[in-house]
Amino acid sequence: MGRILLIGGIGAGKTSIKQMLMNEQVSYQKTQMLDFSHVFIDCPGEYLEIPRFYHVLIDASHQVSEIWALQDATKERSFYPPKFSKVFRKPVIGIITKVDLPKANIKRASSFLNYAGIEEPFYTTSVMNKDGVAPLRMRLRELNELYND
């Protein structure tokens, strides 16, 4: 199963990245509950921001082959507890979003992902100007070939 779990705070850009990679129109819609598709499991940012929901993320991780952990480049804080990535028994890939915005700070976002125990290199993306989308598409394709679906 080459499925991916998207995690990150509220508004980090999980649903937007999913829409873009699925070639859907990128339009804002708050995620209210776990959302399963063939390729992605998308979830509300609350599941990362509110610790009593962590177990939902951990349960969902059993149904995927890897986890994409998003960090909004414009945010001055992060919701990842130290070494959070280590609670998953799947690879965790770091993705820095919204790099098109003037307030984006890739260095700060990288340090938040490092703090969460995620190893570099990180993907940097923008759904506005399609920055960094090609490498993610490539990763998706490789996962699908690996898991043959």
Ligand X SMILES: Nc1nc2c(ncn2[C@@H]2O[C@H](COP(=O)(O)OP(=O)(O)OP(=O)(O)O)[C@@H](O)[C@H]2O)c(=O)[nH]1
For ligand X, give the closer residue by CB, 86 or 130. Answer: 130
For the chain, give the DSSP string.
---EEEE-STTSSHHHHHHHHTT---------S-EE-SSEEE--THHHHSGGGHHHHHHHHTT-SEEEEEEETT-SS--PPTTGGGG-SS-EEEEEE-TTSTT--HHHHHHHHHHTTPPSP-EE--TTT-TTHHHHHHHHHHHHHHHT-
Residue in 127, 132, 136, 143 binding ligand X, rule: CB under 6 A: 127
By CB under 6 A, tell whether 12 contacts ligand X: yes
Q: Select the span of 15-23, 50-58, 70-78, 104-112 touching Mg ion (CB under 5 A).
A: 15-23
Find the part of the chain contacting Mg ion (CB under 5 A) among 31-39, 52-60, 73-81, 89-97: 31-39
Q: How far is the CB of 40 from Mg ion (least distance, A)?
A: 11
Residue of 15, 61, 71, 110 that binds Mg ion (CB under 5 A): 15
From the list Mg ion, ligand X, none, which binds 8 (C-beta under 5 to 8 Å, kind-based)? ligand X
Residue 121 makes CB contacts below 8 A (sequence gap 6+) with none
Residue 110 contacts which entry, ligand X, Mg ion, none (Cβ below 5-8 A, type-dependent): none
Site for Mg ion in 38-97 (CB under 5 A): none
Contact residues: Mg ion, CB under 5 A: 14-15, 31
